[in-house]
Structure 1
Amino acid sequence: MLYKKVVKRILDLLLAVPMVIILFIPLIVIGLIIKFTSKGTALFRQERYGMDSKPFLLYKFRSMTDEAPVKANSDFDDITSYVTPFGMIIRKTSIDELPQLMNIIKGDMSFIGPRPLAKTDSKVLFLRKHNGADQVLPGISGLAQVNGRNNLSDEDKATYDAKYAAHVSFRVDMLLTVETFVSVMKRDGIFKETVVDDKESDNEVVRDGKEL
Protein backbone atom coordinates (compact mmCIF):
# COMPACT_ATOMS: atom_id res chain seq x y z
CA MET A 1 0.00 0.00 0.00
CA LEU A 2 1.44 3.34 -1.10
CA TYR A 3 0.14 5.24 1.93
CA LYS A 4 1.49 2.72 4.44
CA LYS A 5 4.94 2.42 2.84
CA VAL A 6 5.61 5.93 1.51
CA VAL A 7 3.01 8.66 2.16
CA LYS A 8 2.71 8.01 5.89
CA ARG A 9 6.47 8.43 6.35
CA ILE A 10 6.52 11.64 4.30
CA LEU A 11 3.64 13.10 6.35
CA ASP A 12 5.42 12.15 9.59
CA LEU A 13 8.52 14.07 8.53
CA LEU A 14 6.56 17.05 7.22
CA LEU A 15 4.94 17.39 10.64
CA ALA A 16 7.70 16.27 13.01
CA VAL A 17 10.55 18.40 11.63
CA PRO A 18 8.66 21.75 11.83
CA MET A 19 7.36 20.79 15.29
CA VAL A 20 10.90 20.22 16.58
CA ILE A 21 12.00 23.58 15.15
CA ILE A 22 9.00 25.46 16.57
CA LEU A 23 9.14 23.74 19.94
CA PHE A 24 12.93 23.76 20.33
CA ILE A 25 13.05 26.53 22.94
CA PRO A 26 10.03 25.23 24.92
CA LEU A 27 11.57 21.74 24.93
CA ILE A 28 14.81 23.14 26.32
CA VAL A 29 12.87 25.03 29.01
CA ILE A 30 10.92 21.92 29.98
CA GLY A 31 14.14 19.93 30.21
CA LEU A 32 15.71 22.56 32.46
CA ILE A 33 12.65 22.62 34.74
CA ILE A 34 12.81 18.84 35.10
CA LYS A 35 16.53 18.95 35.78
CA PHE A 36 16.35 21.68 38.43
CA THR A 37 13.16 20.58 40.21
CA SER A 38 14.05 16.95 40.84
CA LYS A 39 17.10 14.72 41.09
CA GLY A 40 18.01 12.93 37.89
CA THR A 41 18.34 13.62 34.19
CA ALA A 42 15.81 15.50 32.07
CA LEU A 43 15.46 12.74 29.50
CA PHE A 44 14.42 9.15 30.03
CA ARG A 45 15.72 6.59 27.56
CA GLN A 46 14.59 3.01 27.31
CA GLU A 47 14.82 0.13 24.88
CA ARG A 48 11.46 -0.53 23.26
CA TYR A 49 10.34 -2.88 20.51
CA GLY A 50 8.92 -1.55 17.28
CA MET A 51 8.38 -2.62 13.69
CA ASP A 52 9.19 -6.30 13.09
CA SER A 53 9.72 -6.54 16.87
CA LYS A 54 13.13 -4.86 16.50
CA PRO A 55 14.51 -2.88 19.48
CA PHE A 56 15.20 0.85 19.42
CA LEU A 57 15.92 3.55 21.99
CA LEU A 58 12.86 5.60 22.94
CA TYR A 59 13.06 9.14 24.37
CA LYS A 60 10.74 10.76 26.90
CA PHE A 61 10.90 13.54 29.45
CA ARG A 62 11.49 12.09 32.91
CA SER A 63 8.39 12.33 35.09
CA MET A 64 9.38 9.97 37.94
CA THR A 65 11.53 10.54 40.99
CA ASP A 66 15.08 9.24 41.07
CA GLU A 67 14.05 6.88 43.88
CA ALA A 68 11.39 5.06 41.86
CA PRO A 69 11.98 1.29 42.09
CA VAL A 70 12.83 -0.66 38.97
CA LYS A 71 9.59 -2.39 38.03
CA ALA A 72 6.65 -2.11 35.66
CA ASN A 73 3.99 0.52 36.30
CA SER A 74 1.36 -2.17 36.79
CA ASP A 75 3.32 -3.51 39.78
CA PHE A 76 2.97 -0.26 41.74
CA ASP A 77 0.29 0.01 44.42
CA ASP A 78 0.35 3.80 44.01
CA ILE A 79 2.51 4.93 41.11
CA THR A 80 1.54 8.58 41.63
CA SER A 81 3.60 8.65 44.81
CA TYR A 82 6.71 8.33 42.63
CA VAL A 83 5.71 10.99 40.10
CA THR A 84 7.33 14.40 40.60
CA PRO A 85 5.07 17.49 40.90
CA PHE A 86 6.19 18.74 37.48
CA GLY A 87 6.11 15.17 36.20
CA MET A 88 2.42 15.01 37.05
CA ILE A 89 1.81 18.07 34.88
CA ILE A 90 3.69 16.77 31.86
CA ARG A 91 2.06 13.33 32.19
CA LYS A 92 -1.46 14.74 32.35
CA THR A 93 -0.82 16.91 29.29
CA SER A 94 1.23 14.20 27.49
CA ILE A 95 4.11 16.70 27.18
CA ASP A 96 6.41 13.93 28.43
CA GLU A 97 5.96 12.26 25.01
CA LEU A 98 7.32 15.20 22.96
CA PRO A 99 10.94 13.94 22.77
CA GLN A 100 9.55 11.09 20.68
CA LEU A 101 9.45 13.56 17.81
CA MET A 102 13.12 12.66 17.45
CA ASN A 103 12.18 8.98 17.25
CA ILE A 104 9.79 9.87 14.44
CA ILE A 105 12.44 11.82 12.54
CA LYS A 106 14.89 8.93 12.99
CA GLY A 107 12.33 6.53 11.53
CA ASP A 108 11.81 4.49 14.70
CA MET A 109 8.22 5.65 15.15
CA SER A 110 5.22 7.32 13.54
CA PHE A 111 2.66 9.70 15.02
CA ILE A 112 0.00 6.99 14.88
CA GLY A 113 0.60 3.29 15.50
CA PRO A 114 0.77 0.70 18.29
CA ARG A 115 2.60 1.99 21.35
CA PRO A 116 6.23 0.81 21.47
CA LEU A 117 6.58 -1.68 24.31
CA ALA A 118 9.38 -2.57 26.71
CA LYS A 119 10.51 -6.14 27.39
CA THR A 120 8.34 -6.14 30.51
CA ASP A 121 5.37 -6.41 28.14
CA SER A 122 6.50 -9.78 26.84
CA LYS A 123 2.95 -11.12 26.58
CA VAL A 124 1.70 -8.27 24.39
CA LEU A 125 4.89 -8.39 22.32
CA PHE A 126 4.33 -12.11 21.76
CA LEU A 127 0.71 -11.57 20.75
CA ARG A 128 1.65 -8.72 18.40
CA LYS A 129 4.29 -10.80 16.67
CA HIS A 130 1.75 -13.53 15.97
CA ASN A 131 -1.19 -11.34 14.93
CA GLY A 132 0.75 -9.02 12.62
CA ALA A 133 0.55 -5.91 14.81
CA ASP A 134 4.33 -5.47 14.65
CA GLN A 135 4.26 -4.99 10.87
CA VAL A 136 3.83 -1.22 11.22
CA LEU A 137 5.88 1.46 12.95
CA PRO A 138 4.89 2.07 16.57
CA GLY A 139 3.29 5.42 17.34
CA ILE A 140 2.95 8.11 19.96
CA SER A 141 -0.76 7.30 19.94
CA GLY A 142 -2.87 4.58 18.41
CA LEU A 143 -6.12 2.68 18.33
CA ALA A 144 -5.60 1.08 21.75
CA GLN A 145 -4.78 4.45 23.32
CA VAL A 146 -8.10 6.00 22.30
CA ASN A 147 -10.06 2.91 23.34
CA GLY A 148 -9.09 2.49 26.96
CA ARG A 149 -5.37 3.17 27.26
CA ASN A 150 -4.57 2.01 30.81
CA ASN A 151 -7.68 0.02 31.32
CA LEU A 152 -7.26 -2.55 28.56
CA SER A 153 -6.17 -6.15 29.04
CA ASP A 154 -3.07 -7.39 27.23
CA GLU A 155 -5.28 -9.35 24.83
CA ASP A 156 -7.42 -6.31 24.04
CA LYS A 157 -4.38 -4.14 23.40
CA ALA A 158 -2.89 -6.69 21.02
CA THR A 159 -6.24 -7.04 19.24
CA TYR A 160 -6.59 -3.28 18.74
CA ASP A 161 -2.99 -3.07 17.53
CA ALA A 162 -3.57 -5.85 14.99
CA LYS A 163 -6.77 -4.19 13.80
CA TYR A 164 -4.89 -0.94 13.18
CA ALA A 165 -2.04 -2.71 11.35
CA ALA A 166 -4.56 -4.37 9.04
CA HIS A 167 -6.39 -1.14 8.23
CA VAL A 168 -3.71 1.57 8.00
CA SER A 169 -4.96 4.47 5.90
CA PHE A 170 -4.90 8.25 5.80
CA ARG A 171 -8.53 8.36 6.97
CA VAL A 172 -7.87 6.08 9.94
CA ASP A 173 -4.78 8.09 10.96
CA MET A 174 -6.69 11.38 10.78
CA LEU A 175 -9.56 9.99 12.86
CA LEU A 176 -7.14 8.67 15.48
CA THR A 177 -5.29 11.99 15.53
CA VAL A 178 -8.53 13.82 16.33
CA GLU A 179 -9.52 11.23 18.95
CA THR A 180 -6.06 11.48 20.52
CA PHE A 181 -6.38 15.26 20.80
CA VAL A 182 -9.79 14.88 22.47
CA SER A 183 -8.42 12.20 24.82
CA VAL A 184 -5.49 14.42 25.84
CA MET A 185 -7.85 17.33 26.49
CA LYS A 186 -10.05 15.06 28.65
CA ARG A 187 -6.97 13.46 30.26
CA ASP A 188 -8.45 10.01 29.76
CA GLY A 189 -6.60 6.95 31.01
CA ILE A 190 -3.47 8.69 32.24
CA PHE A 191 -3.28 6.46 35.29
CA LYS A 192 -4.79 3.00 35.51
CA GLU A 193 -8.20 2.59 37.08
CA THR A 194 -7.72 -1.15 37.57
CA VAL A 195 -4.73 -3.43 38.05
CA VAL A 196 -4.57 -4.58 34.45
CA ASP A 197 -2.19 -2.02 33.03
CA ASP A 198 -0.10 1.14 33.21
CA LYS A 199 -0.04 4.80 32.32
CA GLU A 200 0.40 4.52 28.57
CA SER A 201 -0.62 0.92 28.03
CA ASP A 202 2.94 -0.18 27.60
CA ASN A 203 4.02 -1.28 31.10
CA GLU A 204 7.22 0.72 30.93
CA VAL A 205 9.94 0.12 33.46
CA VAL A 206 9.77 3.35 35.38
CA ARG A 207 13.28 3.89 36.66
CA ASP A 208 13.25 7.09 34.60
CA GLY A 209 16.26 8.82 36.02
CA LYS A 210 18.72 5.95 35.74
CA GLU A 211 18.83 5.67 31.97
CA LEU A 212 21.10 8.64 31.25
Structure 2
Amino acid sequence: MIYKHYMKRFFDIILSALAILVFSWLFIILAIIIKGTSKGPIFFKQKRVGRDKTYFNILKFRTMRIDTPKDVPTHLLTDPEQYITTIGKFLRKTSLDELPQLFNILVGDMAIVGPRPALWNQEDLITERDLYDANAVRPGLTGLAQVSGRDELPIPVKARYDGEYVDNISLMKDMMLIVKTLGSVLKHDGVMEGGTAEGKKQEENTLVASAVIQEYAASKDKAD
Protein backbone atom coordinates (compact mmCIF):
# COMPACT_ATOMS: atom_id res chain seq x y z
CA MET A 1 0.00 0.00 0.00
CA ILE A 2 2.89 2.38 0.75
CA TYR A 3 4.31 1.84 -2.71
CA LYS A 4 0.92 2.19 -4.43
CA HIS A 5 -0.07 5.44 -2.72
CA TYR A 6 3.29 7.17 -2.19
CA MET A 7 6.43 5.59 -3.63
CA LYS A 8 5.02 4.79 -7.07
CA ARG A 9 4.53 8.46 -7.92
CA PHE A 10 8.00 9.30 -6.55
CA PHE A 11 9.62 6.70 -8.79
CA ASP A 12 7.58 7.92 -11.77
CA ILE A 13 8.93 11.45 -11.33
CA ILE A 14 12.55 10.36 -10.92
CA LEU A 15 12.55 7.82 -13.76
CA SER A 16 10.66 10.02 -16.26
CA ALA A 17 12.93 13.02 -15.59
CA LEU A 18 16.01 10.85 -15.96
CA ALA A 19 14.70 9.28 -19.18
CA ILE A 20 13.95 12.71 -20.68
CA LEU A 21 17.54 13.80 -20.00
CA VAL A 22 19.06 10.58 -21.34
CA PHE A 23 16.97 10.57 -24.52
CA SER A 24 17.01 14.34 -25.17
CA TRP A 25 19.27 13.80 -28.19
CA LEU A 26 16.78 11.33 -29.65
CA PHE A 27 13.89 13.76 -29.12
CA ILE A 28 15.76 16.38 -31.12
CA ILE A 29 16.67 14.03 -34.00
CA LEU A 30 13.14 12.62 -34.32
CA ALA A 31 11.60 16.09 -34.15
CA ILE A 32 13.79 17.28 -37.03
CA ILE A 33 12.94 14.21 -39.15
CA ILE A 34 9.19 14.45 -38.52
CA LYS A 35 9.09 18.17 -39.33
CA GLY A 36 11.23 17.73 -42.43
CA THR A 37 9.35 14.80 -43.98
CA SER A 38 5.67 15.68 -43.62
CA LYS A 39 3.35 18.63 -43.11
CA GLY A 40 2.02 19.25 -39.64
CA PRO A 41 3.20 19.58 -36.03
CA ILE A 42 5.91 17.46 -34.45
CA PHE A 43 3.71 16.29 -31.62
CA PHE A 44 0.26 14.76 -31.72
CA LYS A 45 -2.14 15.64 -28.90
CA GLN A 46 -5.25 13.63 -28.17
CA LYS A 47 -7.90 13.77 -25.44
CA ARG A 48 -7.58 10.73 -23.19
CA VAL A 49 -9.13 9.45 -19.98
CA GLY A 50 -6.98 9.82 -16.89
CA ARG A 51 -7.26 8.94 -13.22
CA ASP A 52 -10.85 8.89 -11.91
CA LYS A 53 -12.07 9.48 -15.48
CA THR A 54 -10.71 13.01 -15.71
CA TYR A 55 -9.35 14.13 -19.09
CA PHE A 56 -5.88 15.09 -20.24
CA ASN A 57 -4.04 15.53 -23.54
CA ILE A 58 -1.68 12.68 -24.28
CA LEU A 59 1.51 13.50 -26.19
CA LYS A 60 2.98 11.41 -28.99
CA PHE A 61 5.30 12.02 -31.89
CA ARG A 62 3.03 12.51 -34.91
CA THR A 63 3.01 9.39 -37.09
CA MET A 64 0.00 10.12 -39.32
CA ARG A 65 -0.99 12.74 -41.86
CA ILE A 66 -2.92 15.76 -40.69
CA ASP A 67 -6.02 14.67 -42.67
CA THR A 68 -6.40 11.46 -40.64
CA PRO A 69 -9.86 11.10 -38.98
CA LYS A 70 -9.65 12.37 -35.41
CA ASP A 71 -10.41 10.40 -32.24
CA VAL A 72 -10.55 7.07 -34.07
CA PRO A 73 -8.32 4.22 -32.82
CA THR A 74 -5.90 3.21 -35.58
CA HIS A 75 -7.11 -0.40 -35.61
CA LEU A 76 -10.64 0.83 -36.42
CA LEU A 77 -9.56 2.66 -39.56
CA THR A 78 -10.42 0.75 -42.73
CA ASP A 79 -7.02 1.37 -44.30
CA PRO A 80 -4.68 2.99 -41.75
CA GLU A 81 -1.63 2.51 -43.96
CA GLN A 82 -2.79 5.32 -46.24
CA TYR A 83 -2.56 7.78 -43.35
CA ILE A 84 0.71 6.71 -41.74
CA THR A 85 3.78 8.72 -42.73
CA THR A 86 7.03 7.10 -43.82
CA ILE A 87 8.83 7.89 -40.55
CA GLY A 88 5.58 7.13 -38.73
CA LYS A 89 5.76 3.48 -39.71
CA PHE A 90 9.17 3.21 -38.10
CA LEU A 91 8.11 5.13 -35.00
CA ARG A 92 5.03 2.96 -34.46
CA LYS A 93 6.89 -0.29 -35.09
CA THR A 94 9.56 0.62 -32.53
CA SER A 95 7.08 2.39 -30.16
CA LEU A 96 9.29 5.50 -30.27
CA ASP A 97 6.16 7.54 -30.97
CA GLU A 98 5.28 7.01 -27.28
CA LEU A 99 8.42 8.76 -25.96
CA PRO A 100 6.78 12.19 -25.43
CA GLN A 101 4.49 10.57 -22.86
CA LEU A 102 7.44 10.85 -20.49
CA PHE A 103 6.32 14.48 -20.09
CA ASN A 104 2.78 13.30 -19.28
CA ILE A 105 4.30 11.08 -16.59
CA LEU A 106 6.47 13.87 -15.20
CA VAL A 107 3.52 16.25 -14.70
CA GLY A 108 1.27 13.57 -13.22
CA ASP A 109 -1.16 12.80 -16.02
CA MET A 110 0.20 9.27 -16.34
CA ALA A 111 2.34 6.67 -14.63
CA ILE A 112 5.09 4.54 -16.12
CA VAL A 113 3.01 1.41 -15.46
CA GLY A 114 -0.79 1.29 -15.48
CA PRO A 115 -3.76 0.74 -17.79
CA ARG A 116 -3.20 2.37 -21.17
CA PRO A 117 -5.22 5.62 -21.34
CA ALA A 118 -8.49 5.18 -23.23
CA LEU A 119 -9.74 7.65 -25.81
CA TRP A 120 -12.38 9.96 -24.35
CA ASN A 121 -15.02 8.31 -26.58
CA GLN A 122 -14.08 4.67 -25.92
CA GLU A 123 -17.12 4.20 -23.69
CA ASP A 124 -17.03 0.41 -23.99
CA LEU A 125 -13.49 0.18 -22.61
CA ILE A 126 -14.16 2.78 -19.90
CA THR A 127 -17.30 0.92 -18.80
CA GLU A 128 -15.48 -2.42 -18.68
CA ARG A 129 -12.69 -0.91 -16.60
CA ASP A 130 -15.23 0.38 -14.09
CA LEU A 131 -16.04 -3.25 -13.29
CA TYR A 132 -12.47 -3.71 -12.02
CA ASP A 133 -11.83 -0.21 -10.55
CA ALA A 134 -9.20 0.24 -13.27
CA ASN A 135 -10.26 3.84 -13.90
CA ALA A 136 -9.24 4.80 -10.37
CA VAL A 137 -5.49 4.79 -11.04
CA ARG A 138 -3.24 6.82 -13.32
CA PRO A 139 -3.04 5.35 -16.83
CA GLY A 140 0.37 4.09 -17.84
CA LEU A 141 2.94 4.18 -20.58
CA THR A 142 2.80 0.41 -20.39
CA GLY A 143 0.79 -2.14 -18.46
CA LEU A 144 -0.18 -5.75 -17.97
CA ALA A 145 -2.51 -5.71 -20.99
CA GLN A 146 0.29 -4.25 -23.12
CA VAL A 147 2.63 -7.14 -22.45
CA SER A 148 -0.20 -9.69 -22.68
CA GLY A 149 -1.29 -8.97 -26.22
CA ARG A 150 -1.60 -5.22 -26.79
CA ASP A 151 -3.72 -4.49 -29.91
CA GLU A 152 -4.62 -8.17 -30.31
CA LEU A 153 -6.72 -8.24 -27.14
CA PRO A 154 -10.49 -7.63 -27.19
CA ILE A 155 -11.81 -4.99 -24.79
CA PRO A 156 -13.14 -7.38 -22.06
CA VAL A 157 -9.74 -9.02 -21.79
CA LYS A 158 -7.87 -5.70 -21.73
CA ALA A 159 -10.10 -4.51 -18.89
CA ARG A 160 -9.65 -7.80 -17.05
CA TYR A 161 -5.86 -7.50 -17.22
CA ASP A 162 -6.07 -3.86 -16.12
CA GLY A 163 -8.12 -4.95 -13.11
CA GLU A 164 -5.64 -7.67 -12.25
CA TYR A 165 -2.84 -5.10 -12.29
CA VAL A 166 -4.77 -2.67 -10.05
CA ASP A 167 -5.40 -5.46 -7.52
CA ASN A 168 -1.70 -6.33 -7.35
CA ILE A 169 0.29 -3.10 -7.68
CA SER A 170 3.80 -3.47 -6.29
CA LEU A 171 7.35 -2.36 -7.05
CA MET A 172 8.32 -5.86 -8.15
CA LYS A 173 5.31 -6.12 -10.45
CA ASP A 174 6.11 -2.75 -12.04
CA MET A 175 9.74 -3.69 -12.59
CA MET A 176 8.74 -6.98 -14.19
CA LEU A 177 6.28 -5.25 -16.52
CA ILE A 178 8.88 -2.67 -17.57
CA VAL A 179 11.34 -5.46 -18.44
CA LYS A 180 8.64 -7.39 -20.32
CA THR A 181 7.68 -4.22 -22.20
CA LEU A 182 11.23 -3.74 -23.44
CA GLY A 183 11.18 -7.32 -24.72
CA SER A 184 7.80 -6.85 -26.42
CA VAL A 185 8.97 -3.64 -28.08
CA LEU A 186 12.07 -5.33 -29.45
CA LYS A 187 9.94 -8.16 -30.89
CA HIS A 188 7.08 -5.81 -31.97
CA ASP A 189 4.60 -8.10 -30.21
CA GLY A 190 0.88 -7.35 -30.47
CA VAL A 191 1.10 -4.41 -32.89
CA MET A 192 -1.74 -4.49 -35.42
CA GLU A 193 -2.88 -1.91 -37.96
CA GLY A 194 -6.39 -1.93 -39.36
CA GLY A 195 -9.70 -3.67 -38.91
CA THR A 196 -8.84 -6.55 -41.25
CA ALA A 197 -6.10 -7.86 -39.00
CA GLU A 198 -8.31 -7.47 -35.98
CA GLY A 199 -11.15 -9.33 -37.63
CA LYS A 200 -9.00 -12.39 -38.27
CA LYS A 201 -8.49 -12.79 -34.53
CA GLN A 202 -12.00 -11.88 -33.40
CA GLU A 203 -13.30 -15.41 -32.91
CA GLU A 204 -10.16 -16.56 -31.12
CA ASN A 205 -10.15 -13.50 -28.88
CA THR A 206 -13.79 -13.98 -27.93
CA LEU A 207 -12.97 -17.44 -26.58
CA VAL A 208 -9.95 -16.08 -24.75
CA ALA A 209 -12.01 -13.25 -23.27
CA SER A 210 -14.61 -15.66 -21.95
CA ALA A 211 -11.99 -17.90 -20.36
CA VAL A 212 -10.08 -15.04 -18.75
CA ILE A 213 -13.20 -13.39 -17.31
CA GLN A 214 -14.46 -16.71 -15.90
CA GLU A 215 -11.07 -17.25 -14.27
CA TYR A 216 -11.23 -13.80 -12.69
CA ALA A 217 -14.75 -14.41 -11.38
CA ALA A 218 -13.66 -17.72 -9.86
CA SER A 219 -10.69 -16.10 -8.12
CA LYS A 220 -12.96 -13.39 -6.69
CA ASP A 221 -15.39 -16.00 -5.35
CA LYS A 222 -12.54 -17.78 -3.57
CA ALA A 223 -11.32 -14.49 -2.09
CA ASP A 224 -14.81 -13.69 -0.80
On whether the aligned pair clears a TM of 0.5, the verdict is: yes
Please state if 1:194 is matched with 2:198.
yes
Distance in 2, Cα, partners of 1:124 & 1:67: 26
Distance in 1, Cα, partners of 2:130 & 2:57: 19
Return the structure number with greater relative CO, CA threshold 8 A, min gap 6: 1
Give runs of aligned pairs for residues 48-197 of structure 1, distance below 5 A. Answer: 48-70=48-70, 71-192=72-193, 193-195=197-199
Distance in 1, Cα, partners of 2:187 & 2:22: 25
The sequence identity of aligned pairs, in percent, is: 40
Deviations 1:170-196 (A, max 9, x none): 111111111101100001122253137
Distance in 2, Cα, partners of 1:175 & 1:18: 19
Aligned residues: 197
CA contact (8 A) 1:143 1:160 kept: yes
User: Which residue is equivalent to 1:202?
Assistant: none
Q: Which amino acid aligns with 2:178?
A: T
Please state if 1:3 is matched with 2:3.
yes
TM-score, L = length of structure 1: 0.88
How far did residue 45 of structure 1 move?
A: 0.5
User: Which residue is equivalent to 1:25?
Assistant: 25
Q: Which amino acid aligns with 2:94?
A: T
Q: Secondary structure at the match of 2:3?
A: helix
Q: Secondary structure at the match of 1:29?
A: helix
CA contact (8 A) 1:124 1:155 kept: yes
CA contact (8 A) 1:53 1:129 kept: no
Give the superposed CA RMSD: 1.5
Deviations 1:42-65 (A, max 9, x none): 100111101111111110000001
CA contact (8 A) 1:113 1:137 kept: yes
User: Which residue is equivalent to 2:13?
Assistant: 13
Deviations 1:33-89 (A, max 9, x none): 111101111100111101111111110000001222333323322212211110011
Q: Which moved more, 1:174-183 or 1:71-80?
A: 71-80
Distance in 2, Cα, partners of 1:79 & 1:42: 19
Distance in 2, Cα, partners of 1:115 & 1:14: 20
Deviations 1:152-175 (A, max 9, x none): 111111111111011100111111
**Which protein has the bigger helix share?**
2
Q: Between Structure 1 and Structure 2, whose CA radius of gyration is higher? A: 2
Q: Secondary structure at the match of 1:65?
A: coil
How far did residue 120 of structure 1 move?
A: 2.9
Q: Which amino acid aligns with 2:92?
A: R
CA contact (8 A) 1:72 1:120 kept: no
